[in-house]
């Protein structure tokens, strides 16, 4: 009887631990996405052409508005979103791609999508 009780308590404890770890990971992702959304308001993005999936964009330096810093592409379904920034490259790791159906959204992708609301 005592062994069954301890086994049941251990199983419940492990389930609770797994639930908390999953929720903590999700909370970290949500917080990081909120920070990227806030940072996207400071990004200078210009749409420069259409592509087969959506639009191509350029990100310009704030201190030199004529100088391109990064380039990228956005699509309506987010499946073909890309950017040449380090954040996008690092964020789309193999582990991220295995656990998420859509590509990582850097602040440049978020800014481009925001500027193209209604067109995509």
pLDDT tens digits for range 22-55: 677 788 888 999 999 999 999 999 999 999 999 9
Confidence grade of residue 62 (pLDDT, cut at 50, 70, 90): confident
**What pLDDT shows up at residue 19?**
59
Can you give the three-state secondary structure of 5-59, one letter per residue?
HHHHHHHHHHHHHHHHHHHHHHHHHHHHHHHHHHHHCCCEEEEEEECCCEEEEEE
77 or 8, higher pLDDT: 77
Q: Rounded to whole angstroms, how far apart are CA atoms 14 and 30?
A: 24
Helix (H) or strand (E) segment spanning residue 1: none
Average pLDDT, the chain: 86
72 or 22, higher pLDDT: 72
3-state SS, residue 78: coil
Using a cut of 0.85, tell me whether the model's pTM lies above it: no
């Amino acid at each position: 009887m005592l062994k069954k009780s301890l086994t049941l308590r251990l199983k419940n404890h492990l389930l609770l631990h797994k639930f908390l770890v999953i929720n903590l990971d999700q909370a970290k992702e949500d917080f990081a996405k909120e920070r990227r959304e806030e940072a996207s308001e400071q990004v200078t993005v210009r749409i420069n052409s259409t592509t087969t999936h959506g639009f191509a964009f350029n990100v310009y330096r704030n201190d030199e508005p004529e100088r391109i810093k990064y380039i990228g592409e956005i699509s309506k379904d987010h499946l073909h979103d890309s950017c040449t920034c380090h954040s996008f490259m690092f964020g789309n790791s193999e582990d991220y791609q295995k656990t998420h159906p859509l590509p990582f959204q850097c602040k440049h992708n978020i800014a481009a999508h925001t500027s193209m609301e209604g067109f995509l």
